[in-house]
């Protein structure tokens, strides 16, 4: 079983055991730490020491100042052995594993001329400038870095004590000699163990293997220490030489050090002043805590008075819910009347659509007749062109006949004359046929004109019928306006109910005032948007009724009206979307109110005074919050109904 020794902040030497059963030793500032320090250079969970992979390992937990093993910062799990130093921030720990060194101690004393034991090795002969002197005080803040800093950055110390520097050099040389002797003894021990292993002496092979491994590790450690000591000696010699060369400037540096000392002293005085100020602040905070306690007592008294207000609020909320239900039934009746009116409007719209279809069909026949007349006119012109061409051909033939008479025989002339006459007769028949077709076409055109006049007469009859329907639609529009006026009256009643709900809100003093202010603004904004949407819906229905009441003759005008209505419907849809967004925000505010009530409920559970606790229970805070949520649900249902009406209007417009 291994141990970790350290010195606590109160100056006591302590140790912690580390077993091989999977236990972990946590070093840090948390309460759960096995080795706990209060120094701020140590992280909350600085490092962990445990048995892993058949050896003891130390692992850093991403600490701020890092974990150091034998002056080497580790970044991954690192094995530790007997005598290793573990530094966490400015705090030092020493790892001891005596069982691993027990066999080696026996061999060293029996085979190595009673050489010093390994437990004595780390402190072979402490000197003034080595880290071994400070490492014996495990748990204290690391003093090796300030000593090295003085050696490297403050040569004036050497100027003040040149003799101490020479003594340090002598001690360093003596330590190097001792390390060299220990290294030679360790090598002799290793050779002896190897010789025994090869000669067949096997009293305890496992122990010897462990001893050999330990001796090899010690030899490597001695070599490393020897190299480090040599490097330190060379560095000290170089620094001594530099300090001797800069001896003339030591007085100036001494003044600088004195000035630094004075500044440090002044900083210490300021720190003391700051401590006094902090003490005064602590006293002020204690007074503030007492004030808060008095305010808590006042709050408990106010909670007693809230009990009566909450009871009255519950009764008023129930009455308001009942009245809202009655208004909802009246609104449903008005919606049924509006639905019937819209059904009549749809029937009238269907009749208008049928008349429009008949008009389009008759107009198509008229267009067809006009196209036929144009075609016949083109055919007539084509035939006239053919007759003119035949006449030109006849004149050409006459000229050819005259030419032939002058140079051709009578037989040829007669033959040519016969061909010309036959051709003329054929062309004349074709001209007669074309004349008949032209006459037929003219008769068909006259019939088409008569049909167009008949269609115009029917359109005039349709206009009279549409005027009659217009009167009926105006009557339906009047009914719709009356229904809207009733709906506006119901809306005013709802506004009055909302005003009463706002009066109830003022009685609920346990909620934060800023939350009620935000909620009041959102309710007002939502109400205004609801009224604007209802006005837009009324305007859209009025325009739709006016559009359907007019005679449908100009398709372009109908298309324009439909586009305008569709644009207004899009505006209505945007308005409903904005209203939904505001309702979502209002829902968030309701949740904020519910969350603000939770601390009050927790306070009710922690109150010890039975009277105060009973007063908080009788306040029925949860019921008040639920009633407020019910009012929000009613407002959300009204918005959903308005959105459905807008959707139905858009659907009717698209139909």
pLDDT digits (tens, 9 = 90+) for 110-146: 333 444 433 333 333 333 333 333 334 434 444 444 3
pLDDT digits (tens, 9 = 90+) for 521-547: 666 666 676 666 667 666 666 665 665
Among 84, 97, 94, 102, smallest CA distance to 20 is for 97
- Residue spans of the domains in the chain: they are 2-251, 294-654
DSSP state for residue 31 in the 8-state scheme: T
Torsion of CA 60, 62, 63, 68, to 10 degrees: 40
Tell me the C-alpha to C-alpha distance, in Å, between residue 201 and each of 76, 196, 655: 40, 5, 110
Which of 602 and 144 is assigned the larger pLDDT? 602
Give the model's pLDDT for residue 152: 39
Contacts of range 597-604, beta carbons closer than 8 Å, 24 or more positions apart? 597/510, 597/511, 597/621, 597/622, 597/625, 600/303, 600/510
Give the model's pLDDT for residue 140: 45
Give the H/E segment covering residue 3. Answer: strand 2-7
Tell me which residue has tokens 């100009």.
554
Q: Quick check: 655 pLDDT over 80?
A: no
Cα gap 106→102, rounded to integer Å: 7
136-160: burial string, b at 16+ Cβ within 10 Å, e else: ebbbbbbebeebeeebeebbbbbbe
Give the model's pLDDT for residue 543: 63
Share the mean pLDDT of the chain.
Answer: 70
Average pLDDT over residues 436-444: 77
Local structure of 387: helix, strand or coil: helix
Average pLDDT over residues 591-613: 63
Average pLDDT over residues 157-163: 45
Between 2.60.40.10, 2.60.200.20, 1.10.3720.10, 3.40.190.10, what CATH number should domain 2-251 receive?
A: 2.60.200.20
pLDDT digits (tens, 9 = 90+) for 559-591: 666 676 677 667 667 767 766 676 777 777 667
Which of 3 and 390 is assigned the larger pLDDT? 3
């Amino acid at each position: 079983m291994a141990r970790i020794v350290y010195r606590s902040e109160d100056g006591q030497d302590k140790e912690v055991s580390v077993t091989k059963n999977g236990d972990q030793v946590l070093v840090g500032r948390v309460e759960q730490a096995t080795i706990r320090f209060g120094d701020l250079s140590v992280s909350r969970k600085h490092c962990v020491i445990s048995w892993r992979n058949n050896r003891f390992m130390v692992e850093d937990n991403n600490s701020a100042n890092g974990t150091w093993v034998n002056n080497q910062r580790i970044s991954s799990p690192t094995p530790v052995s007997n005598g290793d130093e573990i530094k966490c921030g400015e705090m030092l720990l020493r790892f001891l594993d005596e069982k691993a060194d027990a066999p080696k101690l026996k061999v060293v004393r029996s085979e190595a001329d009673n050489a010093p034991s390994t437990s004595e090795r780390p402190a072979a002969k402490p000197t003034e400038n080595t880290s071994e002197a400070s490492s014996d005080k495990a748990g204290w803040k690391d003093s090796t870095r300030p000593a090295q800093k003085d050696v490297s950055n403050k040569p004036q110390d050497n100027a003040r004590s040149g003799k101490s520097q020479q003594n340090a050099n002598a001690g360093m040389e003596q330590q190097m000699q001792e390390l060299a002797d220990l290294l030679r003894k360790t090598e002799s021990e290793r050779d002896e163990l190897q010789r025994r292993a090869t000669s067949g002496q096997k009293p305890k092979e496992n122990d010897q293997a462990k001893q050999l491994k330990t001796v090899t590790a010690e030899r490597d450690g001695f070599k490393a220490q020897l190299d480090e000591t040599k490097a330190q000696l060379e560095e000290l010699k170089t620094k001594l030489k530099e300090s001797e060369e800069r001896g003339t400037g030591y007085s100036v540096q001494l003044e600088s050090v004195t000035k630094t000392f004075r500044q440090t002293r002044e900083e210490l005085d300021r720190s003391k002043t700051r401590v006094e100020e902090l003490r005064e602040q602590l006293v002020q905070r204690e007074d503030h805590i007492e004030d808060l306690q008095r305010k808590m007592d006042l709050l408990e008294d106010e909670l007693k008075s809230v009990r009566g207000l909450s009871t009255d609020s519950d009764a008023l909320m129930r009455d308001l819910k009942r009245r809202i239900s009655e208004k909802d039934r009246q609104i449903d009746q008005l919606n049924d009347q509006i639905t019937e009116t819209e059904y009549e409007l749809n029937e009238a719209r269907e009749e208008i659509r049928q008349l429009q279809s008949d008009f389009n069909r008759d107009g198509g026949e008229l267009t067809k007749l006009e196209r036929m007349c144009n075609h016949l006119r083109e055919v007539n012109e084509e035939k006239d062109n053919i007759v003119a061409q035949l006449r030109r051909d006849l004149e050409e033939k006459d000229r050819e006949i005259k030419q032939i008479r002058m140079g051709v025989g009578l037989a040829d002339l007669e033959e040519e004359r016969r061909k010309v006459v036959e051709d003329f007769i054929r062309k004349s028949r074709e001209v007669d046929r074309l004349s008949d077709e032209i006459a037929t076409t003219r008769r068909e055109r006259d019939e088409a004109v008569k049909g167009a006049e008949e269609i115009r007469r029917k359109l005039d009859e349709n206009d009279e019928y549409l005027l009659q329907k217009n009167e009926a639609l105006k009557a339906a529009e009047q009914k719709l306006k009356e229904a809207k006026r009733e709906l506006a009256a119901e809306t005013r009643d709802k506004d009055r109910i909302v005003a009463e709900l706002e009066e109830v809100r003022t009685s609920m003093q346990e909620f934060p005032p800023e939350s009620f202010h935000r909620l009041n603004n959102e309710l007002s904004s939502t109400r205004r948007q609801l009224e604007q949407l209802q006005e837009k819906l009324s305007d859209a229905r009025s325009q739709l009724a006016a559009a359907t009441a007019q005679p449908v003759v100009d398709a372009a005008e109908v298309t324009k009206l439909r586009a305008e209505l569709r644009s207004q419907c899009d505006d209505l849809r945007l308005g409903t979307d904005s209203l939904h967004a505001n309702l979502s925000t209002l829902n968030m505010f309701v949740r904020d109110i519910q969350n603000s009530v939770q601390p009050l409920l927790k306070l009710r559970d922690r109150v010890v005074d039975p009277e105060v606790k009973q007063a908080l229970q009788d306040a029925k805070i949860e019921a008040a919050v639920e009633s407020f949520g019910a009012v929000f649900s009613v407002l959300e249902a009204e918005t959903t109904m308005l959105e459905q009406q807008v959707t139905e209007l858009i659907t009717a417009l698209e139909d």
